[in-house]
Amino acid sequence: MFISPWHDTYDSSRLVLVELITRLDVRGDPVALPLHRDHLFLTGSDDERGLGRSADLAAPLLDDHRRVTGRACVWRDGRWRPFVPPEGHPCRNRFVELRLQTDAGSYDEQKSVLEQQAQSRGDDVFVASVLVMTDGETGVSASLCTWTDGVPTLLPRADQIAFVTPGATEEEPRIMRVPWEHATAVMRDAMEPQGLVPERWRVDRFPSEQEQAALGRAELSAV
């Protein structure tokens, strides 16, 4: 793999130097991680070791406020395209997790601004976060947001939505986790897009009993 040496705040911008990048000796198509203003990683799409090393070095940089993105891209057919290793590849989940952590970080940065705006308007709305979870058995990562009964919420995009019905005590809530695509198909009429980047949807009501039954048909087991 190749690591940018300049550290002059323009490292990730050198992604545009495709004439240089395509001359690098990599296995397969060039894969780039424009992680940080001072860090650009390059390797090949067929280089398992290079991909793994890139992901390992990238992960801690996502916590830096000067990060750019953990979304990898591949130079293919004359353009940069989104890149995640294929199903079954040993590095796939590390690249998925980089993407998920990038999205969660973007929503966290957005959250504080939206909370201040809501407070200034006197709007008692909950600005939800994105949680990244990893299945202990499969090692597969996914993102999750929560939609709670009785709580107006600005909902972020995630792989799954956890519909939460509070119980008599904090230990007794009913939680139903549903894939995003199924949840939004059932609840589309209750979700108002806000025109934000990244996008959020305002939800002011909880699913009815009929809607909960429809959601339950795609409920996921607990992690």
Compute the C-alpha angle 121/123/127, nearest 5°: 115
User: Phi/psi at 48 (nearest 5 deg)?
Assistant: -60, -45
pLDDT at residue 171, rounded to an integer: 67
Least confident of 3-12, 56-65, 93-102, 214-223: 214-223
Dihedral sign from CA coordinates of 156, 157, 162, 163: positive
pLDDT at residue 222, rounded to an integer: 62
Tokens of 192: 């108002």
Measured distance CA(110)–CA(116) in Å, rounded: 10
Does residue 139 have a pLDDT over 90? Answer: no
Measured distance CA(158)–CA(194) in Å, rounded: 16
Question: Are residues 180 and 148 in contact, defined by beta-carbon separation less than 8 angstroms?
Answer: no
Q: What does each C-alpha distance from 219 to 109, 160, 164, 176, 177 come to in angstroms?
A: 30, 10, 13, 6, 6
